[in-house]
Structure 1
Amino acid sequence: MRSENEVDIHEELAGAAVTPLHKALGVLITLITLFDGYDTFNPAYVIHYVMQPWGLQPSQAGLLVSSGLIGFLFGAMGHGMVADRYGRRNTLLAGLWIINVMTLLTAMFATDFASFCGLRFLTGLGLGVLLPLGTTYINELAPQRVSNSFSLWGVTFGWSLGGVVAGLVGVFLTPTYGWQILYFAGTMSIPLTLVVHAVLPESPKFLAARGRVEELRALMSRLRPERRGFYENAVFRTTEHKVSQNTIAALLAPRYRRVSLTIWLTAFLTLFAIFGLTGWIPTVMIKRGETFAASFGFGALLQAMSFFGGLTLATLADRGFAATPRLLGTWWAIGGLAVGALVFVNGHGFNIAVVAIAGFCVIGAQHVLNNFTANSYETGLRASGVGMELGVGRVGAILGPYVIGLLQQATGAPDAVFWAISGAAIVAAAVISSLAMVGKAAQGSVAPAE
């Protein structure tokens, strides 16, 4: 039986009004993920400049994109265990500093294929922290009723805007200053990191789980100022189950096995499609007869439309968690069919329309999958759950640009690219939709863990 001064930290956060502190921290996470998105997508604009000088085959050019994603794989899969033990804040700051240093070194010392790929791998270790941990942080902070929309504005907007900025730098600055300007511009994340050091608090649920009560009282008083007096004598508790030291085993325990395996396979397929498309869209569109500016602009269009697609889907998902798998499946099926149509039609207006639909549906749905994953696990497993989703998904992301390079090398035409991306998105739609087809019993396995 709960005493009068005992509070459940999850209930307190879920029922809170959106305060100025919520909004300020949302803006900070938005800026962090902006640099994540910027750094993730800018290698696509390097390929055009280095293929001939470095004597690269298309498959090697694909590795320019994939090398950073390999580092992302290790960062995403490993960061969760670090964050669950040492805190969200410290792990996020470590990821930022890795990116800061490696981005500057890439601009200055990446002079050939090997050095570029090596530095991109190390940068990826930091990138693997920011997006999944930003998603986790937002989901532990946001009131439950607006968690999807808050995550979209706090995480997805920044990530998508970063991709747009990468495209704009690619279009307007690289012709004059070379591809290195992409990475010199990326070092603007350094002053942001100093602000994060000064402003970002630890996750309240992490503080509660670790018994750091005084810090928690102070933070909760800022998040729910109307209950400040009550928190002075409150006893905080959580509804968490004890988490096994083997977090992968915990994610595959009977309670989570079905949803974990389904999410991992879905993420593999969708990130194969997303990074195959974003990594090659500028180069492939040049081959289809588009101008340099238009081809580089397609990358920015993808990212811009992904935010609106994700925001639309998140708004629908906020009306019912159990309906999310079906909505995700619909988005990916539409996007996959649109990309497949590029095999049969080539025209400037049609290309613009399909790229916009692909960004809206294929990439937009991925943002909601991240949030769906975070809400599918309890706090002690949430960072690891999101990290594993994006880590396994990054295997698909790594293969996407490389396989598409091989397909171009083998066929000499872009059609196989669109077949591969379309097929991956449509199969992903079928996989995630399976969670919505198993009735009430299965819905219990994918309902919010808290």
Structure 2
Amino acid sequence: MSAVMAGVLLHLPMFLMGRMTHYRLSGMPIDGEMIAGMGAIVIGIAIAAYGLLPSNISKQLAASQKIVVSPPEDAPLTRAHWALMAVLVVALVIDIMKPASLGFTIPGMVSEYGVSKATASLVPFAALTGTVVGSILWGIIADVYGRKASILLSAVMFVGTSICGAMPSLYWNIGMCFMMGAAAGGMLPVTYALLAEMMPSKHRGWALVLVGGLGAVSGYFAASGFSALLQPTFGWRILWLLNLPTGLSLVLLGALIPESAKFLLARGRRDEARKVMERFGSEARSTTHAEETALLKGPSAALSGRAFLGKLVALCLAAICYGLINFGLLLWLPADLVAKGYSTELSSRLLAESALIAFPTIFVVAFAYSRWSAKWSVAGAIAVTFAGLLGVLRLELTSNGSPVLPVALLIVGTNALIAMLLPYTAESFPLRIRGRTTGLVAACSKAGGVFAQLLAILALVPALALVALLITIPTIASLALVTWFGKETRGRDLRDLDPNGHVFAATGV
């Protein structure tokens, strides 16, 4: 970590050189200090990876198959649970804040580099593409190497990408933006996977949704707040340099993030595993010969079958719809409303007020998800989103009526959907593939945005009526698949939802 911080600090002189020109660095050459800093960052990340990730992973995975850790399904909430929730909210704020900050940097980039908005849009496009890659990659790493290790390594890489704030070239910014997205994209799926495994079943539902909802809302507020507070003085680049303190804060809070007890036992760190289990109420034991035989069949059972594929496709489709709406339809809607004769003030106020309405829905959604039904709450959010799409479609085809209701339905529906989608995914798949399945769904939520941004860059955005019509197709398909293949997870022991749930349901000593 020291090498990464040193590498970032070596870039600060370049940033400070621009203080007389409002921190405009375009055209300045990359000096020797910056090159040395880049090298230090690469070396620091490599050292961190070597220290966090085990080298004899195949042996450890074989050992872990002989260990069964009973999750803390019946344990009461303790200070450790609340601390974990707080830290993971911070992780999600960091994950959401940086992509949300991109919109505030575009005007500054257009002005400084003298490029069109379409060219500047390559920056958010690269960032979203990075989050897609990062969500998938870090989900796999979390399943293989452990949840805590992947979160901390992601944070270290995130700190390194803060040097984007000192890059004098637009294309260096685009490249570093991709790396930033790849680093930040790993926090989202791993956070949900870890929280699902550590929370007792009777508290798991509301905790997952509340942490996700508060992280998302706080991330957007943090992005807009830091932009309003710092950008007038330090320019758009300061929003990148914030990666240093925010990422560092997560690394320092890493002491409050527990590692999987099963992972620790496989590495022979029994004392650490015992402490984690005591804090969170888990138990562990060795498997019997019959259970080992069942476990050998587990991966094939978990990774095949119509139920598995149907459920995964349903959640991926819902995630893609969210991305298309959030990063496409809702971004294009204000200009469309103005073109139809609505005032700019009305269209801007409409989105802001709808977003404000969506904030308290987080608590309503958390209550419904944990007290009523996880499955039908997700289906309900998809249905509300579908109703909003139909409202937009009607508005576009008839050119009359108020846009308030359809826009409010879209924003409320998509906010509720994204608050529940990853928690429901984390609860719906077995522990050994939970990271990668949650990562895949998280990637799909950004993939829709990548496609929407690509259309904008190529100036190929179709008429909004056609956009709404096309998005309704995967939306109704995801609703049908969730209804058919979705499982109720509310209050259930995660071990019962595993294809080999009978193996994990046994208690240990």
| TM-score grouping bracket, smaller chain normalisation | 0.7 to 0.9
Aligned to 2:78: 19
Shift of 1:388: 1.3
Deviations 1:364-399 (A, max 9, x none): 211211111111101001001101112234322211
Shift of 1:36: 0.8
Q: Distance in 1 between matches of 2:266 and 2:337?
A: 50
Aligned to 2:123: 64
Aligned to 2:310: 258
Q: Distance in 2 between matches of 1:51 and 1:351?
A: 31
- CA gap 1:33/1:127 in 2 versus in 1, 3 angstroms: same
TM-score, normalisation: structure 1 = 0.79
Shift of 1:64: 2.1
- CA gap 1:300/1:219 in 2 versus in 1, 3 angstroms: farther
Q: Distance in 1 between matches of 2:271 and 2:193?
A: 23
TM-score, normalisation: structure 2 = 0.71
Contact 2:261 2:276 in 1 (8 A): yes
302, 323, 331: which one aligns with 1:271: 323
155, 159, 167: which one aligns with 1:109: 167
Deviations 1:54-103 (A, max 9, x none): 4544543433211111111211111122111111111101111111110x
Shift of 1:137: 1.1
Q: Distance in 2 between matches of 1:383 and 1:416?
A: 38
Is 1:426 matched with 2:472? yes
Aligned to 1:368: 420
Contact 2:163 2:241 in 1 (8 A): no
Letter in 2 for 1:381: I
Q: Greater shift after overlay, 332-341 or 151-160? A: 332-341
- Secondary structure at the aligned position of 1:201 is classed as coil
Contact 2:152 2:251 in 1 (8 A): no
Aligned to 1:30: 89
Q: Distance in 2 between matches of 1:215 and 1:49?
A: 48
Contact 1:34 1:158 in 2 (8 A): yes
Alignment RMSD (CA, Å): 3.8
Letter in 2 for 1:235: R
Is 1:40 matched with 2:99? yes
- Secondary structure at the aligned position of 1:273 is classed as helix
Q: Distance in 1 between matches of 2:448 and 2:418?
A: 13
Is 1:144 matched with 2:201? yes
Aligned 1:52-91 pairs, distance under 5 A: 53-91=112-150
Higher Rg: 2
Shift of 1:40: 1.7
202, 214, 221: which one aligns with 2:278: 221
- CA gap 1:171/1:423 in 2 versus in 1, 3 angstroms: farther
Q: Greater shift after overlay, 178-187 or 156-165? A: 178-187
- Secondary structure at the aligned position of 1:235 is classed as strand
Is 1:330 matched with 2:383? yes
Aligned to 1:4: none
Q: Distance in 2 between matches of 1:268 and 1:91?
A: 25
- CA gap 1:431/1:213 in 2 versus in 1, 3 angstroms: farther
Contact 1:307 1:364 in 2 (8 A): no
Shift of 1:289: 5.2
Shift of 1:42: 0.9
Q: Distance in 2 between matches of 1:184 and 1:278?
A: 28
- CA gap 1:18/1:78 in 2 versus in 1, 3 angstroms: same
Contact 2:388 2:407 in 1 (8 A): no
- Secondary structure at the aligned position of 1:188 is classed as helix
399, 416, 423: which one aligns with 2:463: 416
Shift of 1:245: 11
Shift of 1:198: 2.8
- Secondary structure at the aligned position of 2:258 is classed as coil
- CA gap 1:108/1:282 in 2 versus in 1, 3 angstroms: farther
Deviations 1:17-56 (A, max 9, x none): 1111100110000011111110121111222333355454
Deviations 1:120-161 (A, max 9, x none): 001111112011111111111111222221012223312321
Aligned to 1:435: 481
Provide the aligned length of Structure 1 versus Structure 2. 420
- Secondary structure at the aligned position of 1:256 is classed as helix
Q: Distance in 2 between matches of 1:39 and 1:76?
A: 15
Q: Distance in 2 between matches of 1:205 and 1:280?
A: 47
- CA gap 1:426/1:173 in 2 versus in 1, 3 angstroms: farther
- Secondary structure at the aligned position of 1:51 is classed as helix
Aligned to 1:314: 366
Letter in 2 for 1:108: A
- Secondary structure at the aligned position of 1:134 is classed as helix
Q: Distance in 2 between matches of 1:403 and 1:204?
A: 45
- CA gap 1:276/1:254 in 2 versus in 1, 3 angstroms: same
Is 1:97 matched with 2:147? no
Q: What stretches of structure 1 of length at least 5 have no aligned partner?
A: 1-6
Letter in 1 for 2:369: A
Q: Distance in 1 between matches of 2:400 and 2:90?
A: 37
Q: Distance in 2 between matches of 1:161 and 1:34?
A: 6
449, 452, 461: which one aligns with 1:400: 452
Aligned 1:284-299 pairs, distance under 5 A: 290=344
Contact 1:62 1:279 in 2 (8 A): no
- CA gap 1:444/1:174 in 2 versus in 1, 3 angstroms: closer
Aligned 1:188-207 pairs, distance under 5 A: 188-204=245-261, 206-207=263-264
Contact 2:378 2:420 in 1 (8 A): no
Shift of 1:8: 6.8
Contact 2:156 2:251 in 1 (8 A): no
Shift of 1:330: 1.9
Q: Distance in 1 between matches of 2:279 and 2:435?
A: 24
Contact 1:309 1:359 in 2 (8 A): no
- CA gap 1:444/1:119 in 2 versus in 1, 3 angstroms: closer
Contact 1:96 1:126 in 2 (8 A): yes
